[in-house]
């Protein structure tokens, strides 16, 4: 796995080295729920920055509460790579309540239709702005508040490699397709259905989403697995396929 990650780092750095200095490299990382998208994306950003001579972790790719809880972390300086999570474009709970079927929208929160896909597409389009590169704010998701929040820092002109990770960033349906087509690389994290299901059940139990095995399994089957099937059915062909990664936080001891 380390060898595969190292090869991905080298590939992205090669793209960066050959790109004009006033452009951004956009990398999308998608996979079914439980596949390990985040487990790949955030360490990947740190490895890229380290290779580029940046040793300070950039809070621009932290969740809002993580950045607030890390006062020793410096504000963005000359970091080049940054990660953005698609979760920041969840519809708020208030917005879900305005859906035609609020109960279904809340139950299926995390499905593609419960995201503000139009705002997400606009964000990706802004990353492709003509020089000079603009400063671009983006959203993060607060698990404490259970709603998206403004990110602690914007994407700045010196952020030239943007890693976007999320379930739906490689979809081939409108309006998602418009953003997918703007990506320079489409990375798919492949994971067997049974492996993803087992991981998700463990995650729900460990995080206290459910406290009983059968209830955790039912939640996964009625939501996460459905989302995974939808992604596979509407996936744009990836340019890179990566083997699934286990999040050590949920690994079996």
pLDDT digits (tens, 9 = 90+) for 11-26: 999 999 999 988 999 9
Measured distance between the N- and C-terminal CA atoms of the chain, rounded to whole angstroms:
19
Q: Quick one: which of 232, 251, 226, 223 has its CA closest to 189? A: 232
Residue 61, pLDDT above cutoff 80: no
Q: Quote the mean pLDDT of the chain.
A: 87
Q: What is the pLDDT of residues 127-146, one digit of tens each?
A: 998 888 889 999 999 988 88
Residue 174 C-alpha from the chain's centroid: 19
**Sequence-ordered list of residues with C-beta below 8 angstroms from that of 167, at least 6 positions apart, any chain:** 30, 31, 32, 33, 37, 86, 110, 112, 227, 231
Q: What is the pLDDT of residues 213-240, one digit of tens each?
A: 989 999 999 999 999 999 999 999 999 9
Per-residue pLDDT, 73: 35
Per-residue pLDDT, 66: 44
Residue 251, pLDDT above cutoff 80: no
Q: Quick one: which of 201, 186, 192, 175 has its CA closest to 228? A: 192
Model-level pTM? 0.87
Give Rg (Cα) of the chain.
18
Which residue has tokens 């690389």?
A: 185
Q: What is the mean pLDDT of residues 76-105?
A: 92
Instruction: Give the residues across from 27 on adjacent strands.
Output: 163, 185
Alpha-helical runs (H) found in 28-175: 37-51, 64-68, 93-97, 102-107, 117-127
Q: Please tell me the CATH code under which domain 2-193+236-244 is placed.
A: 3.40.50.300
- Rounded CA-CA distance 136/118 in Å is 16
Q: What is the pLDDT of residues 169-206, one digit of tens each?
A: 999 999 999 999 999 999 999 999 999 999 999 998 88
Domain definitions of the chain by residue range: 2-193+236-244
Per-residue pLDDT, 3: 66
Q: What is the mean pLDDT of residues 158-162?
A: 95
Per-residue pLDDT, 64: 35
Residue 63 C-alpha from the chain's centroid: 11
Q: What is the mean pLDDT of residues 144-172?
A: 94
Per-residue pLDDT, 129: 86
């Amino acid at each position: 796995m380390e060898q595969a990650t190292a090869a991905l780092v080298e590939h992205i750095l090669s793209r960066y080295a050959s790109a004009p200095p006033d452009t951004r490299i956009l990398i999308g990382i998608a996979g079914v729920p439980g596949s390990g998208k985040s487990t790949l994306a955030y360490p990947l950003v740190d490895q890229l920055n380290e290779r580029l001579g940046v040793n300070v972790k950039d809070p621009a790719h932290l969740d809002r509460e993580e950045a607030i809880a890390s006062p020793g972390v410096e504000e963005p300086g000359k970091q080049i790579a940054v990660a953005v999570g698609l979760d920041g474009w969840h519809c708020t709970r208030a917005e879900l309540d305005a859906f035609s079927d609020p109960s279904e929208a809340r139950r299926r929160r995390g499905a593609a239709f419960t995201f503000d896909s139009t705002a997400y597409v606009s964000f990706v389009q802004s990353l492709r702005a003509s020089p000079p590169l603009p400063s671009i704010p983006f959203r993060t998701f607060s698990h404490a508040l259970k709603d998206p929040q403004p990110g602690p820092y914007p994407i700045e002109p010196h952020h030239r490699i943007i890693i976007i990770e999320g379930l739906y960033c490689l979809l081939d349906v409108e309006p998602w397709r418009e953003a997918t087509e703007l990506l320079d690389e489409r990375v798919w994290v492949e994971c067997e259905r049974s492996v993803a299901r087992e991981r998700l059940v463990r995650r729900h139990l460990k995080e206290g989403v459910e406290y009983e095995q059968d209830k955790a399994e039912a939640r996964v089957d009625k939501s996460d697995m459905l989302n995974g099937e939808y992604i596979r059915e509407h996936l744009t062909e990836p340019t890179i396929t990566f083997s699934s990664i286990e999040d050590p936080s949920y690994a079996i001891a």
